[in-house]
Amino acid sequence: MNFKHILAKTKRKYILAPLLGVGFLVLTAAGDRYFEISKNIEIFTTLFKELNTYYVDEVDPNKLMETGIESMLASLDPFTNYITGADIDEYQLQTTGRYDGIGARIMKMGDYVVISEPYEGYPAQKAGLEAGDIILEIDGKSAQGYNTDQVSELLKGQPSTELRLKIKKFDSDKIEDITIQRTEIKIYNVPYFGMLNEEIGYIKLDNFAEKAGQEVADALKSLKTDHPGMKGLVFDLRGNGGGLLNEAINVANVFIDKGQKIVYTKGKTSDANNEYTTMNKAVDTQIPLVVLIDGGTASASEIVSGSIQDLDRGIVIGQNSYGKGLVQITRPIAYKARLKVTTSKYYIPSGRCIQRIDYSHRNDEGKALAVADSLRKSFKTKGGRTVKDGAGIEPDVTTEEQILSDVTYSLFENNHIFNYASSYKKSHPTLEGGEKFKMSDADFEAFLSYMKDKEYKYNTETEAQVKKLKEIAEKEKYLAAIQPVITDLESKISLDKEKDLVKHKDEVKRMLEMEIVSRYKYEKGRIAASLKDDQDILKSFEYFSDLTKYNKLLGK
């Protein structure tokens, strides 16, 4: 027999054996997995029945099951969620930007829910509802004690249906019966765009619901048409938590031309592995571009800001983004419920994934941790700049996070800024300066007088440290000896806190101006007023005014 033929047969024999072994192991592993699934479902079902039958007190089966589902999903990642049939309207609002109702934001204040801001041009505003109006009754039923979710559900309904409200006007004994006809409400992805000065345009994108890309494109076209001398654009993604993946591609396509890969995804199933490229001609690929981000910039916002950075299309200014590199899809479940489940990770043009938290590995306490700096990998932008994965989008130019002082936060928390703005509107039928309104010193003195009989308690970090010192001193038997010093410290802190409103005058004025403008100009006015003295925008001006500096940062 030919030696080579024998050798070939022998090789095939010993090659075939391991392959069969692997196949057997795979089948065995799959069988074991399905057995474990079947076993645990049976255990869960039996346990659920036993609890409902024998637990000493009555249990709500729906609540018990929801608790079990939520706890199970919580062990995975915070983005894999169970959406009940009752929550489906909220989910649809997030993805479509539409709902049926009267068009107003609401908030809880005391025993009632109040109007916090009507949407301009929609039924609530047309019917005369204003910020601060208290909702006493809805269709003849008292709304006392209702929370915002309960009131929101009652305000929604089919378009053209009528809603009867009993309203107590802000800071008044006046009661009004109002009939409003519901309609479809559209929440725009781009709530505001305009010019920051004669040469620099601005677009604010809040969401990535349906038509986000079209709205950004329309805003940019409008700015270019109305202001042909525009020489730069600030694109604001701060606080934008993301949305639809396809809209992220469409938004990027406004600035990045057709055929460019923006993101690709990798997951467990073949359906989860996809590549997404721009499909249309861009609106403008040349205008100098600054993208603003912060810790609230997440997901689809990070795809857009990250692709602009990776492709050296513009510079990113602000603070590190959130770091969500996980993609979710929704799957239908029984009884109109849905499962929003993480199916893949996304990778932006340089090849990096910006996911910050590793949910697949947890410490001994079960906590998922951020990717260690030592494990972060370096990648290159189109022009050769170094960028890293594993920690969100790191800005090209980092600015300091603007954190509210304790006193200003307390004013917000106790609704003093909200109420003063409503009071100001009541005594000032028109607003001098419109969106550019600035409080005078006399206006601020009026606010200080307004606050004299108002409660706004808050604890400073200094007070927390003094309290901690007292506890340690008492434990170590030193308290009696140092009590006079501590009492003196507490007295000085208390006196100083009385001056905090004046000490933080500029910050408090800025917050008041934004809220007051919103009473006259609604959301657009609030955003426009917020841009005055914005540190990130002022920083962007440095690069627009010196294009050599801008290009150098991009490695050009």
Give catalytic residue positions: 299, 310, 324
The dihedrals phi and psi of 210, each to the nearest 5 degrees, come to: -55, 140
Helices 406-413 and 416-427, interaxial angle, to 10°?
A: 70
* Core vs surface per residue 19-36: b (16+ CB within 10 A) or e: eeeeeeeeeeeeeeeeee
The DSSP line for 499-545 is: THHHHTHHHHHHHHHHHHHHHHHHHHHHHHHHTTT-HHHHHHHHHHS
Contact 267, 274 (CB under 8 A): no
Q: How far apart are CA 208 and CA 212, in angstroms?
A: 5
Q: How many CB atoms lie within 10 A of CB 271?
A: 11
512 burial (CB, 10 Å; 0-12 / 13-18 / 19+) is buried
Which three-class secondary structure state does DSSP give residue 224? helix
Amino acid in position 406: D
Classify 268 as helix, strand or coil: coil
Residues 6+ apart with CB under 8 A from 201: 193, 194, 195, 220, 223, 227, 230, 232, 233, 234
Evaluated on CA atoms 406, 407, 412, 413, the torsion sign reads positive
Close Cβ partners of 53 (under 8 Å, ≥ 6 residues apart) = none
